[in-house]
Amino acid sequence: MTESVKLLFSRKRRWRRRLVLLAGAATMLFFTPRIMNQPPKGLGIAEGKLAACPDSPNCVSTFSLSAEHRMDPIPFRGSTDQLVDKLKSIVRELPRTRIVRQTDNYLHVECRSFWFGFVDDVEFLIDPEQKLIQFRSASRVGYSDLGVNRRRMETLQKACLGTL
């Protein structure tokens, strides 16, 4: 074989390798978030509270003692039935959001990110005696969420305070 033919074949191999690597990377980007986005254990109400936030900064909660994770609960007036209906209508306005579970005093919502479909779990616990909505919002995967959970819950707080 001549040098030019060998060079041509080696270039084709390089392009094939690159194509295979690119296809593999695209496959990983598509499937990894779906595999890693399995619902975590520990969601829901335990001993009258929602789960604690992990040490990572991708969670906010009204039950947290840490300033990094802490947010104030949302006060409300009226009955819990009316509150749940209003809360569901506010949540439905969020893009890429679905209600997963609801009881008379609990609401679990999944919010998906636009680009990769990462899931954040948002939970609401209604305390009818104190007239407060306790909540927790946490990313399922990763370490930092760049403040997405806090901003989402601040937006929900404002929406709730404006209508409740």
Inside any domain, residue 15: no
Nearest to 95 by CA among 120, 119, 113: 113
Domain harbouring 122, CATH code: 3.30.310.80
Looking at residue 138, its pLDDT comes to: 96
Inside any domain, residue 23: no
Looking at residue 32, its pLDDT comes to: 57
Which comes out higher in pLDDT, residue 12 or 108? 108
Query: Does residue 26 surpass a pLDDT of 70?
Result: no
Tokens read off for 24: 């593999």
DSSP 36-93: HTPPPTT-S-BTTBPPPP-SSSSEEESS--STTTB-PPEE--S-HHHHHHHHHHHHHT
Most confident range, picked from 30-34, 77-81, 154-158: 154-158
Sign for the pseudo-dihedral over CA of 107, 96, 86, 135:
positive
Q: Which domain holds residue 71?
A: 37-163
Inside any domain, residue 17: no
Q: How many separate domains does the chain show?
A: 1
Inside any domain, residue 64: yes
Task: Specify the pTM.
Answer: 0.77
Inside any domain, residue 52: yes
Average pLDDT, the chain: 86
H-helix or E-strand containing 11?
Answer: helix 3-36
Inside any domain, residue 131: yes
Looking at residue 27, its pLDDT comes to: 65
Which comes out higher in pLDDT, residue 118 or 10? 118
Query: Does residue 164 surpass a pLDDT of 90?
Result: no
Maximum alpha-carbon separation in the chain? 87
Inside any domain, residue 25: no
Residue 99 CB neighbours (<10 A): 14
Tens of pLDDT, residues 60-111: 999 999 999 999 999 999 888 888 899 999 999 999 999 999 999 999 999 9
Rounded to whole angstroms, how far apart are CA atoms 160 and 82? 12
Which comes out higher in pLDDT, residue 117 or 102? 102
Inside any domain, residue 59: yes
Question: Half-sphere exposure of residue 77, counting CA atoms within 13 Å on the CB side?
Answer: 4
